[in-house]
Amino acid sequence: MEQELRELYQQVILDHNKSPRNFRLIEHPTNFAEGYNPLCGDNINIFLSVNDEGIIEDISFQGSGCAISKASASLMTSILKGKTVEEAEKLFERFHELVTDKLGDNPDIDDLGKLAVFAGVREFPARVKCASLAWHTMISALHNKKEKVITE
């Protein structure tokens, strides 16, 4: 396999694609959003249970997509469990910088932990949307809740 391809399809990604973690429904989520990429037809639904302290107690996903989008959703849900909403938003920003090659002044990606396996995506501009679909959906789910809170 070519170097660039190997970096895109790392073993961790192939593994999460084959056996995705948190691939299930949460019966009564506090937050939910449907993610859809009209370009390829990928759809990823994100379910969250956020407690009153703003901690993500549970997070899961369902849907269909390519290896990159599925692995991204799987790893994202694994990492965000137990994090606060603020931490999730911060990680989203950093993840986005990583896959769009905009790490700029903070090239150290230790804070991203396992998410570093998505570094190879930056060589494939057409696949950035695949990697970030789950994240955008998660953010949208969190924001919907906020809006709901305001209107209630």
* Site residues for other proteins per CB under 8 A: 1-2, 4-5, 8-9, 14, 17-18, 39-43, 64-68, 70, 124, 127, 130
| Rounded Cα distance, 94 and 16, in Å | 21
Nearest distance, CB of residue 70 and other proteins, angstroms: 8
User: What are 61's strand-pairing partners?
Assistant: 23, 46
Q: Please calculate the CA angle 39-23-11 and round it to the nearest 5 degrees.
A: 75
Nearest distance, CB of residue 31 and other proteins, angstroms: 25
What is the SS3 assignment for 3?
helix
Max Cα–Cα distance, the chain, nearest Å? 54
Rg (CA), the chain: 15
Nearer to other proteins, 66 or 103 (CB): 66
Nearer to other proteins, 15 or 87 (CB): 15
Nearest distance, CB of residue 38 and other proteins, angstroms: 9
Nearer to other proteins, 2 or 105 (CB): 2
Nearer to other proteins, 19 or 151 (CB): 19
| Residue 55 DSSP label | B
What is the SS3 assignment for 43?
strand
Nearest distance, CB of residue 71 and other proteins, angstroms: 11
Nearer to other proteins, 17 or 137 (CB): 17
Nearest distance, CB of residue 2 and other proteins, angstroms: 5
| Rounded Cα distance, 90 and 105, in Å | 15
| Rounded Cα distance, 106 and 121, in Å | 18
